[in-house]
Structure 1
C-alpha cells in the first residue's frame, strides 16, 4: 500500500560532528612530483577541499535552501519481492493545470540535486514552450531514499520502484509522464519502456549507450548504418572517444560492478576517500565546468549523509551486471527482448537492456553533448526504438542537467512543444 508524507532533509547533528572529526584526523598520502590530473585528483586539490569542508562549508545552509526552495515528499511503495521502500523525491509543481508530468531520473555520481537547476526552467511559463510538473526521486540506495539489503535488486526493480512512485503521486490517473534520464537514469528509463510502455510514450535521453551494430551480431543494422550514414571524421572521433573510455576510463565501473563491498569500506569510513572518488568524476566527466567548492561539497555531502550510506549506491553496477536467469516470465507492458531467450525479466541485465528495442509507441529524443563519456554515430542510436528527435551540442558534458540546464530544458521543450515530434504524446496535455 503506497503512502505519501512531506519530507524535509534533516541530517542529525551527530553525523555533522562525526564528519568534522574525521576531517580533522585525515592523514593524506603523498604524490609524484609534477602530478596533474592524469593519475587522479591532485593532492593540493583534495587538501584544499578538505579544509573548506572542515572549516567553511555550511551543510545546514544547503539543507535549508533545498527545504525552502523545493517541495519534497517521502513515497512508500511496495516492490515485488522486496517489500515496502521509502523513496525520497522532489515533487515540484508548476501550478499550471495543463502541465506535463516529467520524471527526472539521476545516475551515479549524481543525485536529485541535478534536477534543481532544471526545475525553475521547466516549471515556469515563458510563453515559448510547454510547462512541466517535475518529479525527481532519489533512487533506492541513493540520497535520502531507503537502501535495499536483499540481493537481486536490479534495473527491473529500480524501474518498478520509480514507476510506482509516479502512480502513487497520481500521474497515472490523468496522463503519461515524460521521462528524462542520463547515466543510470537513461538505462532505467529504457527499462521502464520495456516493462511499462503503456504508461509513458515519450523519453528524452542525454546518455545513450548502445551495443554497436557488429557485423556478426546485427549484419542488417551494420550494413544499413554504413549505407545511410557513412562514417564521417566526426563519427570516427565519437567511436575513438568511446573506445578510449571503455579501455582506459571505466576502471571505476569494473570495481563497482565486481567488488563493490571491498570499495565500500573506504567510501563509508573515509570522507576524503569519498570526496576523491566522486570529485574525480565530476571533474573529468564535465566540459570544463567551473565547479565551485560549494557545489562539489554539496554533491559529496548528499552521498556522505545518504540514508543507506555512500557505498550502497555502487551496488547498482553489480546488480545490473548480474547473469540472466532462465524463465519465461513476462511483465506487463510487453517486452521487446527476443522471446527465444529464456530470460526472467525481473533480472534483466544491463547488456539485455542495451540490446533491447523499445515498443514503437514510445518516442525518444536523444541529445548528445560534446564531452559525453560514450558517443556513437547518431544513426546507431536508432536501434533503441522510435527515435524522433536527434540533437548534437558543441558544449556540455556528462552532467548536462547541471552544466548546461538551459540547453537541456530547451531540448525538452522542443521535443514536447506544439511543433515537436512528441507533441500530444502526453494525453492531450500540452502544458501551455
Structure 2
C-alpha cells in the first residue's frame, strides 16, 4: 500500500497511512491534522493546498540535505546537469528546485491532458484517453516503465492524431489511482488494462512499451491473443533471461545473455534492492527529496542519450514522484513475481536504440517473440519515446500497419 514514499507491498490490511517520518514532519510544520495518504496518490489530490504542504516539506528537508555529499557521489556529468538547474548566481545546486521551480505550471499542463478513470476489475485505472476524429481508427496503448510516468509519452501524443490513444497511469506510479490491495504484479496490471480497454470499447489494438511496460505488453498479448493485434517493443521482457538456455540460443544470442548477466552484476543493484527490500528503500527515498532525486536522476541520465533531458524536465519527472508520494508503490512490479510464457506469437516490431541499457540482437528476441521488423536507430536510449519521439512514433506506426 502506498504512503507518502512508504509502501507495504503485502499488507493484509486496507488501511493506508503516511509513513512515520512524513507524519512527524507535518506536525512540525504545524499541520497536525490526519492526512489521507491515498489521496496523495491521485492526480485529483494535486491541489494547491496539498502541493504547498508537500513543497514545504521538501524545502525543509532540502535545507538539511548534505548537498556536497550527494554531488560527490554522482558522476561528473550528472552533477553538472543538476548544477544547471540553478540560476548562475545561486550557490546551491538544488536551491532552484526548492525556491524557484514552479510545479504549478506543470501541474496545470498535466491536469489538462484528457484524463478519465475506468473501473477495471476491483480497482480504478486512470488513463489518458484521446479518441481520433475517425471512429474507425486503430487504437494504440502506450505503456511506460520505471523510473518515470505517463510524462514519457508527452512528446509522442501529438504524433498520433490518426489513432485512438490510451496511456494508462500504471497502478502504483505517479498520477495513478491509489493501490487498495496487495499483489499488484505485472500479470495483474495486464489483466486490469485489458479490462479497462474493454470498458472503453476497444476490442483490438496495438500495444507499445519497454522495460516494465514491455513486460506488461507481452503479458497482454499472451492473455489476449485475439485482442492484441501487434506489439511494438523497445526490448524483450528482462525476465526471459532468467529462464533462457544458452545451449538453445544462436551464438550471438548466447553472447548477449552473458552480457546481460554481466550488466546485472555491475549495474543492477537497484533491481536487487527494489525487489527484495522495497520498504526500506521507500522510507529512505520518501524521507529525502535529494535522495529521491539522486536515485531517479542517476537512471534518467545514464540510460538516455546526451540530449535526453534539460534540467527542468528532470525536476518535473522527479517532482511527479515526490508530490504524489509514489516512489515506494512504484517498486511493486519489482517485488511481485511475474509469470511469462515461453514465447509470444503476436507479430512484433522491435525498436533498438543504441544507448538503451541492454539492446539485444535480433536472434535473441526471436527466441521469445514473433519479430516481423527489427529496426536499429542511430540515437536514443532507454527513454526513447521522450528522447526520439519521431523515431519511436514511426516504428509504432509500422506496428499499426502490420496489424492491417
Give the TM interval when normalised to the shorter protein.
Answer: 0.7 to 0.9
Equivalenced residue count is: 353
In 2, the alpha carbon distance for the partners of 1:33 and 1:196 equals 46
In 2, the alpha carbon distance for the partners of 1:309 and 1:423 equals 35
Please say if residues 230 and 403 of structure 2, whose CA atoms lie closer than 8 Å, have aligned partners that are also in contact.
no
TM-score (norm. length: structure 2): 0.79
Q: Give the C-alpha shift of residue 269 in structure 1.
A: 2.3
Please say if residues 348 and 369 of structure 2, whose CA atoms lie closer than 8 Å, have aligned partners that are also in contact.
yes
Matched, 1:189 2:217: yes
Unaligned runs of 5+ in 2: 1-42, 87-92
Matches within 5 A, 1:323-362: 349=338, 352-353=339-340, 356-358=342-344, 360=345, 362=346
Correspondent of 2:267 among 245, 249, 265: 249
Aligned residue number for residue 226 of structure 2: 198
Correspondent of 1:317 among 323, 334, 342: 334
Aligned residue number for residue 58 of structure 2: 22
Q: Give the C-alpha shift of residue 240 in structure 1.
A: 7.2
Aligned residue number for residue 160 of structure 1: 191
Please say if residues 155 and 386 of structure 2, whose CA atoms lie closer than 8 Å, have aligned partners that are also in contact.
yes
1:214-250 CA-to-partner distances (Å, cap 9, x unmatched) read: 99x364x32xx24xxx68xxx96x6676344211111
- The structure 1 segments of at least 4 consecutive aligned residues displaced by more than 6 Å after TM superposition are none
Aligned residue number for residue 361 of structure 2: 377
1:263-310 CA-to-partner distances (Å, cap 9, x unmatched) read: 01122222222111111111111011242222111111211122x632
Aligned residue number for residue 342 of structure 1: none
Please say if residues 246 and 257 of structure 2, whose CA atoms lie closer than 8 Å, have aligned partners that are also in contact.
no
Matched, 1:409 2:388: no
Aligned residue number for residue 303 of structure 2: 285
Q: Give the C-alpha shift of residue 110 in structure 1.
A: 1.5
Task: Point out the more displaced range, 394-403 or 161-170.
Answer: 161-170
TM-score (norm. length: structure 1): 0.74
Please say if residues 214 and 235 of structure 2, whose CA atoms lie closer than 8 Å, have aligned partners that are also in contact.
yes
Task: Point out the more displaced range, 203-212 or 108-117.
Answer: 203-212
Correspondent of 1:53 among 86, 97, 111: 97
SS of equivalent to 2:313: helix
SS of equivalent to 2:194: helix
Correspondent of 2:290 among 267, 272, 292: 272
Please say if residues 149 and 174 of structure 2, whose CA atoms lie closer than 8 Å, have aligned partners that are also in contact.
yes
Please say if residues 23 and 272 of structure 1, whose CA atoms lie closer than 8 Å, have aligned partners that are also in contact.
no
In 2, the alpha carbon distance for the partners of 1:109 and 1:136 equals 16
Task: Point out the more displaced range, 20-29 or 197-206.
Answer: 20-29
RMSD: 2.9
Aligned residue number for residue 121 of structure 1: 159
In 2, the alpha carbon distance for the partners of 1:96 and 1:51 equals 48
In 2, the alpha carbon distance for the partners of 1:87 and 1:164 equals 10
Correspondent of 2:276 among 258, 270, 274: 258
- CA gap 1:212/1:89 in 2 versus in 1, 3 angstroms: closer
Aligned residue number for residue 124 of structure 2: 86
1:40-84 CA-to-partner distances (Å, cap 9, x unmatched) read: 95499379452122222211111222233x211111222xxxxx3
- CA gap 1:65/1:9 in 2 versus in 1, 3 angstroms: farther
In 2, the alpha carbon distance for the partners of 1:170 and 1:160 equals 16
Please say if residues 120 and 193 of structure 2, whose CA atoms lie closer than 8 Å, have aligned partners that are also in contact.
no
Q: Give the C-alpha shift of residue 121 in structure 1.
A: 0.8
